[in-house]
């Protein structure tokens, strides 16, 4: 059993993560979700439903936690996501803007133990997100002379239970304490910003809709706390998952899980921490106001996943999953409301998204080359959930296909090291404004496991 000191350190880290949130945005690759949670699953293309891949099972199918040996296990992981995003207007000189957001850290912790037929524990995982950074002198700044940036991150502390009903059947469930945060430094033309307005009231509404936007050459919405740990707009809430696995014979195990749509509060900034500005051709600002921003009803989607693994021989494991991610119910529109501290009233905005449900195929294999070394490889194949015409260069979650490789090394009888690398080739889309967005990624996940 682990020492009380070890458990105290784990719970202290998990509590700190719950307060601060994950390090930066998790710019994810199946829409806003990760291609795989933990390096074992990630190295096998994200397949996770029908075999034991450690405490990361609580982020996918919690029933897989009961497939392990039952020995207390602590996983400590770190992900490094490396997106490469460039927005451009083809054929126009100077209209090329590479995103400076090229490195995002993503820590994770997981602990499980077993009592009789019941496996339980706790874990902290980044669930997903997206983000970009464009220079102040790029066309994305719309002439405002200030940088443009987005950063959206979602994380959770997960409390799983898994039960071995029989030698062949396991079931599991989780309760997830979730948080979300967002920064946004957005520049737009008056026409673009005006098309986003869905409602206004009071003196603020009059100043924006009949004043500033009629004379401005650019307009901005800004809220950011410049923190690597969280965004200026914050929300908390809950999620949950259920799952099961069944051994059907000849080394084959089937599994399935369902992640329920999240129940997050509206994300809100502190009073006076957000701003709206508009600038006329003459140079002096005609409008500048501070206030608060509320992002209304942002949620993470439901996920239905089915999969199987096949222990072909003691040294060779094959796995495959198929997932349906319910983006159409979660990402219809990004809705915001600005409430002024200097004027009466408010202004509401909507950024149409109209994401479609996404189908993801996960294929993976693991080969135990020696007693110490396991080699893994996989494919993660998906469609782009965002209609091309609506892709915003600030939120280009358009990656489709991934190739994955990984390595597991047995350090000792109780310690393992696992690593995975994911390469996502460039996916390029062109939106209705004629902006072409190219997005590719190289991601790394590392994990050390200690059994007690």
pLDDT tens sequence across 117-135: 999 999 999 888 888 999 9
Inter-residue contact 311 to 251 (CB < 8 Å): yes
Q: What tokens were used for 419? A: 């690593």
Inter-residue contact 87 to 393 (CB < 8 Å): yes
CB atoms within 10 A of CB 242: 16
Report the length, in residues, of the chain. Answer: 452
Q: What tokens were used for 124? A: 């902290």
**Phi, psi dihedral angles at 116 (to 5 degrees):** 65, -125
Q: How far apart are CA 29 and CA 93, in angstroms?
A: 30
Q: What tokens were used for 347? A: 């202004």
pLDDT at 285: 59
The angle subtended at Cα 235 by Cα 229 and Cα 237, nearest 5°, is 115
pLDDT at 191: 84
Q: What tokens were used for 147? A: 């940088």
C-alpha dihedral (21, 25, 26, 27), degrees to nearest 10: 170
pLDDT at 137: 94
**Phi, psi dihedral angles at 414 (to 5 degrees):** -120, 0
**Sign for the pseudo-dihedral over CA of 309, 315, 316, 321:** positive
Q: What tokens were used for 389? A: 């015409």
Inter-residue contact 252 to 308 (CB < 8 Å): yes
> Which residues lie closer than 8 Å to 401 by C-beta, 6 or more apart?
379, 380, 381, 382, 424, 425, 427
Give the residue among 339, 219, 223 at the shortest CA–CA distance from 286.
219
Give Cα separations from 155 to 26, 34, 115, 228 (angstroms): 9, 12, 28, 14
3-state percent breakdown (helix, strand, coil) of the chain, nearest 5: 15, 55, 30
The ranges of the chain with pLDDT < 50 are 1-24
Q: How far apart are CA 211 and CA 219, in angstroms?
A: 12
C-alpha dihedral (218, 391, 47, 55), degrees to nearest 10: 20
DSSP for 405-416, written as a single string: EEEEEE-SSSEE
Give the residue among 31, 21, 116 at the shortest CA–CA distance from 355.
31
pLDDT at 24: 47
pLDDT at 6: 45
In the block, which residue shows the tokens 């070394």? 373
- Paired sense of beta strands 73-88 and 415-430, if any: unpaired
């Amino acid at each position: 059993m682990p020492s009380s000191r070890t458990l105290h350190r784990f719970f202290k880290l998990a509590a700190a993560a719950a307060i601060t949130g994950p390090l930066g945005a998790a710019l994810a690759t199946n829409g806003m979700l990760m291609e795989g949670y933990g390096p074992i699953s990630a190295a096998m293309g994200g397949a996770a439903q029908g075999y034991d891949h450690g405490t990361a099972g609580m982020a996918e199918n919690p029933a897989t936690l009961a497939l392990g040996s039952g020995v207390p296990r602590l996983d400590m992981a770190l992900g490094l996501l490396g997106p490469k995003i460039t927005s451009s207007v083809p054929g126009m000189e100077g209209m090329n803007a590479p995103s400076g957001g090229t490195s995002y850290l993503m820590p994770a912790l997981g602990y499980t133990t077993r009592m009789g037929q019941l496996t339980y524990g706790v874990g902290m995982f980044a669930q997903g997100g997206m983000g970009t950074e464009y220079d102040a002198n790029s066309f994305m700044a719309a002439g405002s002379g200030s940088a443009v940036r987005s950063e959206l991150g979602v994380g959770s502390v997960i409390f799983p239970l898994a039960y071995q009903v029989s030698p062949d059947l396991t079931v599991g469930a989780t309760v997830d304490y979730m948080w979300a945060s967002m920064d946004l430094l957005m520049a737009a033309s008056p026409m673009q910003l005006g098309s986003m307005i869905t409602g206004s009231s009071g003196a603020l509404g009059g100043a924006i809709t009949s004043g500033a936007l009629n004379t401005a050459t650019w307009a901005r919405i800004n809220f950011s706390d410049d923190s690597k740990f969280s965004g200026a707009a914050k929300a908390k809430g809950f999620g949950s998952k259920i799952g099961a696995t069944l051994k059907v014979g000849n080394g084959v195990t089937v599994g399935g899980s369902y992640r329920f749509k999240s129940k997050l509060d509206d994300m809100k900034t502190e009073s006076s921490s957000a701003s709206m500005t508009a600038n006329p051709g003459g140079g002096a600002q005609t409008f500048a106001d501070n206030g608060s921003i509320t992002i209304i009803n942002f949620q993470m989607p439901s996920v239905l996943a089915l999969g199987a693994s096949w222990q072909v021989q003691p040294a060779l494991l094959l796995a495959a999953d198929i997932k349906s991610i319910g983006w159409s119910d979660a990402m219809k529109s990004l809705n915001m409301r600005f409430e002024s501290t200097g004027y009466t009233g408010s202004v509401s905005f909507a950024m149409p998204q109209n994401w479609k449900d996404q189908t993801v195929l996960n294929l993976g294999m693991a080969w135990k080359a020696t007693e110490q070394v396991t080699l893994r490889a996989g494919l993660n194949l998906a469609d782009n959930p965002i209609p091309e015409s609506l892709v915003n260069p600030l939120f280009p979650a358009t990656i489709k296909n991934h190739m994955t490789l990984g390595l597991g090394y047995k350090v000792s009888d109780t310690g393992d090291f696992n690593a995975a690398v994911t390469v996502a080739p460039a996916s390029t889309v062109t939106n209705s404004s004629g902006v072409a967005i190219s997005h590719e990624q190289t991601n790394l996940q590392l994990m050390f496991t200690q059994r007690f």
